[in-house]
């Protein structure tokens, strides 16, 4: 089992927000990306952050967006579409969406509309 699986989402979430904010994006946009991917509304997301939910439990409770498979490209030199482990792929999807947001990609494209 990879260490990230047992890491709390709350411990990584501030890094997602900081990355986006450094590039002129907002916390609400990060939340929108997470909501799109997981199906969690703002209240449910905050409950997971407050509870210290691990990535494994977070994605186990999520309803992954059917268009998530359209997320392709590399994160940290790893092609998202080539990740074999389903949980790791979902975590990489989230990383990729935050990367795209931080790079200034329009929200319509980030959310595969």
pLDDT digits (tens, 9 = 90+) for 85-98: 999 999 999 999 99
Cα distances (Å, whole numbers) of residue 7 to 2, 11, 20, 104: 9, 7, 21, 28
CATH number of 3-103: 1.10.8.290
CA distance 26 to 33: 11
pTM for this predicted structure? 0.93
Element housing 75 (H / E):
strand 74-75
Three-state DSSP at 79 gives strand
Query: pLDDT tens, 13-34?
Result: 999 999 999 999 999 999 999 9
pLDDT score of 1 more than 80: no
């Amino acid at each position: 089992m990879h260490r990230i699986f047992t890491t709390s989402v709350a411990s990584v979430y501030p890094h997602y927000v900081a990355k986006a904010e450094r590039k002129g994006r907002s916390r609400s946009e990060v939340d929108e990306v997470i909501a799109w991917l997981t199906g969690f509304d703002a209240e449910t997301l905050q409950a997971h952050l407050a509870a210290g939910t691990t990535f494994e439990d977070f994605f186990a409770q999520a309803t992954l967006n059917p268009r998530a498979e359209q997320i392709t490209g590399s994160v940290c030199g790893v092609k998202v579409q080539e990740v074999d482990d389903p949980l790791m792929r979902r975590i990489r999807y989230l990383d990729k969406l935050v990367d795209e947001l931080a790079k200034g990609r329009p929200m319509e494209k980030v959310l595969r509309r």
